Structures are given as C-alpha cells and as structure tokens.
Structure 1
Amino acid sequence: MMKRFLKVPLLIAMLAAALPCLAAQEHPDGLSINQFRIVYPASETKGITWSMTNNTHRAYLMQSWVRPLDQATGLPVAEEDNKGPRDALPLLVTPPLKRVDPGEPLTLRLRQTGSSLPQDRESVFYLSVKGIPSAPDKASQTGGQLVVAVVNNMKLFYRPAGLPAGGVTKASEQLRFSLQGDALVVDNPTPFYLNFSQLKVGGQALPAATLRTLVPPKGQQRYPVPKGARNEVEWQVIGEDSRPTPVQHKTL
C-alpha cells in the first residue's frame, strides 16, 4: 500500500514552525487543520485527541511525533539536535504513521507516558505532523515529478491540575515589565507559558519573529526594543482558543 509513497523522485521537507500552513485552513483544497494551539489538561487521564482532514485529491502519508521546544528561539528543536530517542519524551502520539485518503480525517491521540513533568507549572512541546503526498500514476506523469512534504508544528501545552482559574487571559494581566538598556524585560509570576501576539513599546511594535520566544512560567524573557522606545508598553498574548487576548497597557 505504501509503495507509491516510496517511489517519489525527489522529496523536500518544508518546516512551518512559527506560522503553520494557514492556507490549508483557509482553502477547502488542502490539509485542513482546525487547532494550532493544543492544551492537554492533566485531568484527561486517558489522553486527548487532535484531528485534521485531507481535503485534497491525493492520498497522504501522515507522520506524527512530539518534539521539544527550543527555549532560545521558540521553535521546535531541530531533528539533528534532538539527541535523545523520541520515545524518551513524556508524551506519545498515536498512530505515528498513517495513510490518509482524499476526504478522510486523521485523528491522533496524545497521552502522557510518564510522571516526570512539573506539577506546579505548564510544560510545552510541539506536535509535528508531516504530510507526504502520493506520487501521480505513471500514466499521468509528464517529465520529472516533485513531491513536497509539508511539516506543520502545533504548540502543545501540558497543563497540570490545580493551576489558577482564568488561564492565559488572567495570567496576561499579571505580567511585569521593565527596561534594561535596549531590552524589555518581561517577568511572568504565573504558572502559564505566555506567547505574545503583539507587543509595543512607546507605540513601536516589536517584530513578529522576536515574539516567537515565549515567556516561561515563573520566569522572565528579554526582548530587544528600538532605541528611544519608552513610556508605555502595550501587549496581547495568544489565548487557549488561538485568538489574541484583550489589549493591556502599562506605563514603564
């Protein structure tokens, strides 16, 4: 059944880390993904599910796995830098490999496999899903064939029981800001990871690439700011529903 996937002349893996393949969500002819931010509550003792649909005219071979987060960049740890085996991570995704025919959904189950995760704060990983399209039939091939595999990376937050109510929205209101030279220091006293959707200092917006780095729970993050940016900070973070939380303001 998988032979057609193995006969592709050329395969290029494209990494969509910070902004997954949104075109797949917007157009019916694509790999339709409804949830790019996943929260795994510890209360779900049997695990949680995540799904997507193949709205193309091709079968896809879907490969799924959990990856660590690179705290320095906010991106998934590169495969070549992930020295440990995948099964050493405390979260498991099944099925790890599955053929998905046109119009068929793919449902993955995520479950915790160990008790090594902190219980006083969130932990964050990435769920990576690679889609490899099948090659066209030989009768329809004209010249060389190029098959492109697209990797979508969804942030996966493991949330222990007993964390404060209100989640990310309430946590966003508790952030503390200070300027140290040309850096904005953000202190997060809450047990939640916070990901800015926008951050402005003195009315000047920080680049989206800068905001990939998350503010860790009970920790701090530093963001470079333009020279002379002072006075007020304005921010929004990405909520559990992947939408920005209400705008917040503070005077520095």
Structure 2
Amino acid sequence: MKPALKLVLFMAALSAAQPSFASPDKPSGFSLNEFRIVYPAAQKKGITWSMTNNTGRAYLMQSWIRPVDFATGLPAAEIDNKAPGDAIPMMVTPPLQRIDSGEPLQLRIRLTGMTLPQDRESVFYLSVKGIPSVPGRASQTGGQLVLAVVNNMKLFYRPAGLPEAGVKSAAKQLRFSLQNEVLVVDNPTPFYLNFSQLTVGGKPLAADELRRLVPPKGQQRYPVSAGMRGAVEWQLVDEDSQVTPLQRQTL
C-alpha cells in the first residue's frame, strides 16, 4: 500500500485587497505592521515594512515588488523568463530569508530610479511568499506536499508636494455621473483611490469591481444594473486601512 500524502496549507488563499496573515490583535499566525504601505519621497533611504512569525514553525520568506493589473486591481501575472520586479524602479531586501518561530522579518523598500511621475502617486504590490518548513516526521509518513501562498499588500509611492491630507481629503472631491449602464467616477486628485463601499440608489456595486482603483487625475468606470438610479454613497480605504467618512452625491 502506498503511504498517504499529507497536504500542508500555508494560508487560506491568495489575497490582494487584504493579506491572509493574522492581524496584530490575534497573533496566531503572522502579524503585520501595515496592510497598505505608503512610501513618501522624503524617505531618501527607503522605508521598512515588518511582520512577525507567530506560528510554531520556521518559514522561508520570498519578497518582491510587482505591478498592478489595472483591469482587475489584482497583482499582474508574472512574465515568463523575467525575474520578479523587472522594470520596476524599486527593490526590496532581503529578497529571501528564513524566519523561525517568534522571529520578525524586516524588509527595506528602496527606490532605484527616478522614473516615476512626480505629480501623482504610483502604485505597486509588495508580494511576500512563505514556504513552511516540513516536520521531520514527514519521512515517516510518506512525505508532505507543501503549498506556499503569496500575500500582497498595496504599495503607494507618494512624490513630494502632494496634499498632506491625502485620501481623507480626496474622498470629498470625487464626482460621479451615469452613462447608460456605467457609473463614471472622476478623480481630480493626485491619489489612487480604493473604495471600501460604493452604492447607487442604495444598491451596492460588486466587491470584485471595487478592487479596481480610481487612478489619479483620471476616471474609473463601473458597470451598474439596469434601473440603478438615485444618490451615490461611498467610502474609501485610507492610508491606515481605515474607512473614510460616508460621502453622498445626487446624480
């Protein structure tokens, strides 16, 4: 009889909007210091981001910067034959590190070239993949198949000179219009904006649609159901992963 093959799951699933690591309030897995990362241009030597391994085993952590797929709001797919982070003027170190149970992982994110726009934000994902160590007893039970899952945190590069109030102020400046069955959102601010919730006539738009960011000094278009009319109400996710006050506009 063939020995049983055990399946070890590192985390629940791929998460782009919010990582599947444990929160700092319940440090039973991995606790993070930030779910959304803002990199101010004033930090000439880069910024740091950290997490702590509160599990009972060691992990090998791989970290890199990847672009956003603006059609979905999710991380862009990796390109064959290209190393993670190619063509992105940022780097993260260390790219690979083992952390034992109870140990922290501290990453440094640094700008490597001045090619990003200086009148608006740029956005990327910081991807962190953890591969759990396999217990020694695996050899006695026929081995284990270990699955590693990548978790993704939005990373915003914020040039100097942008309004200090940030997303909180930008939430009030959005303007909405209906074009047939499409809700058009105009964003005159220099910030990428991420809706926490968006309703038309009291009916919420689908969560997967709201993954798509509203670009700075640009537009985003969201499909709406036929007959969705009335006031638009919205809240954004701010720099601290908090929800902004409710805003309302009559179409």
TM-score, normalised to structure 2's length? 0.91
Q: Letter of the 2:17 partner, please give it.
A: A
Task: Give the fraction of aligned pairs with identical amino acids, expressed as a percent.
Answer: 70
Taking the TM superposition and a 5 Å limit, the aligned residue runs for 1:20-35 are 20-23=19-22, 25=24, 27-35=26-34
Higher mean C-alpha deviation, range 30-39 or range 63-72: 30-39
Tell me, in whole angstroms, the C-alpha distance in 2 between the residues paired with 1:186 and 1:83.
Answer: 35
1:22 shift after superposition:
4.8
Q: For the structure 1 residues 105 and 196, does the alpha-carbon distance in structure 2 shift closer, same or farther, using more than 3 Å as the test?
A: same
Tell me, in whole angstroms, the C-alpha distance in 2 between the residues paired with 1:206 and 1:248.
Answer: 15
Q: Letter of the 1:29 partner, please give it.
A: S
Contact 2:138/2:144 (CA < 8 Å) preserved in 1?
no
Contact 2:93/2:109 (CA < 8 Å) preserved in 1?
yes
Higher mean C-alpha deviation, range 144-153 or range 193-202: 144-153
Match of residue 45 from structure 1: 44
Alpha-carbon displacement from aligned partner over 1:29-60 (angstroms, at most 9, x marks no partner): 21112311000000000100000000011100
Contact 1:73/1:213 (CA < 8 Å) preserved in 2?
yes
Alpha-carbon displacement from aligned partner over 1:186-219 (angstroms, at most 9, x marks no partner): 0001100000000000000111111000000000
SS at match of 1:78: coil
Tell me, in whole angstroms, the C-alpha distance in 2 between the residues paired with 1:145 and 1:164.
Answer: 52
SS at match of 2:170: helix
Contact 1:16/1:150 (CA < 8 Å) preserved in 2?
no
SS at match of 1:79: coil
Q: For the structure 1 residues 139 and 209, does the alpha-carbon distance in structure 2 shift closer, same or farther, using more than 3 Å as the test?
A: closer
Q: Letter of the 2:34 partner, please give it.
A: Q
Task: Say yes or no: does 1:118 pair with 2:114.
Answer: no
Task: Say yes or no: does 1:95 pair with 2:70.
Answer: no
Contact 1:90/1:113 (CA < 8 Å) preserved in 2?
yes
Match of residue 183 from structure 2: 184
Tell me, in whole angstroms, the C-alpha distance in 2 between the residues paired with 1:161 and 1:148.
Answer: 41
Taking the TM superposition and a 5 Å limit, the aligned residue runs for 1:88-167 are 88-138=87-137, 141-167=140-166
Contact 1:122/1:193 (CA < 8 Å) preserved in 2?
yes
RMSD: 2.2
Q: Letter of the 2:234 partner, please give it.
A: W
Q: Letter of the 1:41 partner, please give it.
A: P
Contiguous gaps of at least 5 residues in structure 2: none
Tell me, in whole angstroms, the C-alpha distance in 1 between the residues paired with 2:26 and 2:81.
Answer: 34
Contiguous gaps of at least 5 residues in structure 1: 1-7
Higher mean C-alpha deviation, range 86-95 or range 51-60: 86-95
SS at match of 2:144: coil
Moved over 6 A (4+): 8-13
TM-score, normalised to structure 1's length? 0.91
Q: For the structure 1 residues 81 and 162, does the alpha-carbon distance in structure 2 shift closer, same or farther, using more than 3 Å as the test?
A: farther
Alpha-carbon displacement from aligned partner over 1:153-187 (angstroms, at most 9, x marks no partner): 00000000001121011011000100001110000
Taking the TM superposition and a 5 Å limit, the aligned residue runs for 1:211-226 are 211-226=210-225
1:147 shift after superposition:
1.5
1:145 shift after superposition:
1.3
Q: For the structure 1 residues 84 and 218, does the alpha-carbon distance in structure 2 shift closer, same or farther, using more than 3 Å as the test?
A: farther
Tell me, in whole angstroms, the C-alpha distance in 1 between the residues paired with 2:246 and 2:81.
Answer: 37
